[in-house]
Structures are given as structure tokens and as C-alpha cells.
Amino acid sequence: MEHHRPVGVAVRPWQAADDHLVLAIRLTPNGGRDQIDGIELDADGRAYLKARVSVVPEKGKANKALVALVAKQLGLAKSLVNLVSGDTSRKKILRIDAEPEDLIKKLEALLGL
């Protein structure tokens, strides 16, 4: 079954809750540098924030680098950014405990949306 999205509807890799934001990420470890590379859609049409970190994926190093990267890019303390799923997967879910509306504005500015 194919999923069709209405024309002009933007797909975003985040979902806002009352007091936090859930962010879907596709991480490339050992990627040469720490950087956010935009948004990509998977085969099912789900959006992911593309990120890369320079460290290798061993003993949680890449996950820690990802949390640090996202916190730095959003101007937050690392303690507010938590990995909730995808510990050993390239596709990860982060929970960011901060005002969702502010986070969305920061993400849109960061991504040039």
C-alpha cells in the first residue's frame, strides 16, 4: 500500500508534546565531523533529521556525541537531551525536555525552513 502525502504538507522529524519534543534522527557515526545535515525521508515517508558524528559507534560514544551535538545546536544543556530508543541502531529517537515551540523555531532556523 502506498502512502500519499497531500501536496504542500511539510514532513518534520519531530513531534511536540506539552513539555518536550521527540526528535527522530538518522545518525552516521564515523562521519568525519559533527554536523546536522538536514532532513531525509525513509521508504515509508517518515522524516528523520540527518546527523553525523566523527566518533566510532562503540561503547555509546556516537550516542553521547549525538546528544552533545543536538544540545549544542539548540543551545541546551546536554542533560535535557535523552536517547529514548535506537541505542545500537542508526535510527534514533531523542526526547528533548524544553519548551517545544521554542525548539521547533530553533530547529527550523537551523535547517533553513
Q: CB of 20 within 8 A of CB of 96?
A: yes
The predicted-structure confidence for 39-96, as pLDDT tens digits, reads as follows 999 998 999 999 999 999 999 999 999 999 999 999 999 999 999 999 999 999 999 9
For residue 113, the model assigns a pLDDT of 87
More confident: 51 or 6: 51
At residue 104, does pLDDT exceed 60?
A: yes
Highest CATH level, class, for 14-111: alpha beta
58-64, long-range: CB < 8 A, 24+ apart: 60/87, 62/27, 62/29, 62/30, 63/87, 63/92
CA-to-CA distance for 8 and 66, rounded, in angstroms? Answer: 30
For residue 11, the model assigns a pLDDT of 84
Please state the domain extents for the chain: 14-111
For residue 10, the model assigns a pLDDT of 66
